[in-house]
Amino acid sequence: MSWIKTISDSITAAFNGVRTPAPVIPPILLMCEIMNRPGLSAMSLTSAIIARLPEIGFNTGVNEDGSANMVNLFVKVMCEEIVKEIKNNSVVEFAMPPNSLNITGVAAGLGGGAVTASNPSFISGKGLVQ
Q: How does pLDDT run across 15-28, given as a tens digit for each residue?
A: 776 667 777 778 78
pLDDT in tens, 68-92: 899 999 999 999 999 999 989 988 8
pLDDT at 34 over 90: no
**Quick one: pLDDT at residue 78?**
96
Burial group, residue 60, by CB count within 10 angstroms (0-12, 13-18, 19+): middle
CA–CA dist 81, 88 (Å, integer)? 10
Mean pLDDT estimate for the chain: 84
Residues constituting the chain: 130
Which one is predicted more confidently, 35 or 54?
54
pTM over 0.95: no
Tell me the per-residue pLDDT of 48-73, one tens digit each, with 9 for 90 and over.
999 999 999 999 998 889 898 999 99
How many Å apart are CA 114 and CA 119, to the nearest integer?
Answer: 17
Question: How high is the pLDDT of residue 119?
Answer: 77
Residue 116 has pLDDT above 70, yes or no: yes
- All structural domains of the chain with their residue ranges: 2-90, 91-130
For residues 92 and 119, the answer to whether their CB atoms sit within 8 Å is no
Which of 107-122 are b and which e, b meaning 16 or more Cβ less than 10 Å from the residue's Cβ?
Answer: eeeeeeeeeeeeeeee
- 40 and 79 Cβ atoms separated by less than 8 Å: no
